[in-house]
């Protein structure tokens, strides 16, 4: 967890637990921007990631650790994105949360690969 310009962000890194424990959710608290692995393998997959998103209720969620042109051994982000209420695929690897105001939350933001 960290806060930047009034946005509370949570980065799950290589989270590989089956589910988020109650004490972990409590310690995390309110989340605005969530970065979460979705590609399975040594981390969590789409189903577990979607459950964590539902539990934490972020405004924006950025999937990570999934199959890309550089990473071929994980699942793609597509199953995760299909489970989410709203998604924005970007042409850039960068975005400003102020430019992405969700109609429904969380808004899943899929930046272009750098």
Domains along the chain? 2-110 (3.60.15.10)
**Closest of 55, 38, 56, 57 to residue 46, by C-alpha:** 38
* Burial (CB count within 10 angstroms: exposed 0-12, middle 13-18, buried 19+), residue 28: middle
* pTM (two decimals): 0.94
For 35, phi and psi rounded to 5 degrees? -105, 120
**Highest mean pLDDT of the ranges 45-59, 60-74, 90-104:** 45-59
- What pLDDT score does 111 carry? 96
């Amino acid at each position: 967890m960290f806060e930047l310009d009034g946005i509370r962000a949570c980065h799950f890194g290589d989270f590989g637990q089956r589910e988020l424990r109650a004490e972990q959710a409590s310690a995390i608290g309110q989340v605005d921007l969530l970065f979460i692995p979705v590609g399975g393998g040594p981390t969590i997959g789409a189903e577990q990631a979607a459950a964590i998103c539902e539990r934490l209720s972020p405004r924006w969620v950025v999937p990570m650790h999934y199959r890309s042109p550089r990473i071929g051994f994980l699942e793609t982000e597509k199953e995760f994105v299909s489970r989410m209420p709203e998604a924005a695929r970007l042409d850039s690897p960068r975005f400003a949360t102020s430019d992405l105001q969700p109609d429904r939350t969380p808004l899943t933001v899929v930046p272009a690969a750098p």
